[in-house]
Amino acid sequence: MGKNPRCCEGKTRLGIQPGSGGVLVIEGTLRLSTVEGNGRQFVAQSGTGHALVIDDAEGHSGPKPIELALLALGGCTAFDVIGILRKKRQRVTGYEIVLRAEQNPEPPTYFTRVEIKHRLRGSVDPAAVETAIHLSETKYCAVGAMIAKTAKIETTFEILPEEGSASPAAAL
């Protein structure tokens, strides 16, 4: 699903509403799309016009809301880290984040422990990666700040050899 060209009338691109005193406002809507039966499929649309389907495990037509929370954490820290590394002129040729979360066994099943593993490729200084991750965790990532209220967040990183380059292990 794409962008809604009429989504942002009366708002700036930053999401600051006129007359709001400079407070950032994020908006969204969810519409039930499975009216019949017990389905819980919704179409979620952000205030910027991006849409996706969310569902439960039974309907399985989209991610569950808790999965989106985990992915939002990964996206938030990934945006921070890659932005900082680029400002530091690091040559990143590949980057992925692997996420794993443990949840409280009783409702509400909030996160109790989250593992974030940054995997980078390129000519990247490990100290620059450490600094970027630290800044994301302590200053920039709003999603991480919220999830850290209930979960212990454990972060690791590894710098992998360039794809296609021969590493000593690959030669064996």
Mean pLDDT of 36-40: 91
Domains in the chain (CATH in brackets) are: 1-62 (no CATH), 65-160 (3.30.300.20)
160, pLDDT greater than 60? yes
Mean residue pLDDT across the chain: 88
Q: Which burial class, exposed, middle or buried, applies to 105 when counting CB atoms under 10 A from its CB (0-12, 13-18, 19+)?
A: exposed
pTM for the structure as a whole: 0.83
The structure tokens listed for 91 are 């040559």
pLDDT digits (tens, 9 = 90+) for 62-90: 999 999 999 999 999 999 999 999 999 99
104, pLDDT greater than 50? yes
CA dihedral in degrees (160, 124, 140, 114; nearest 10)? 20
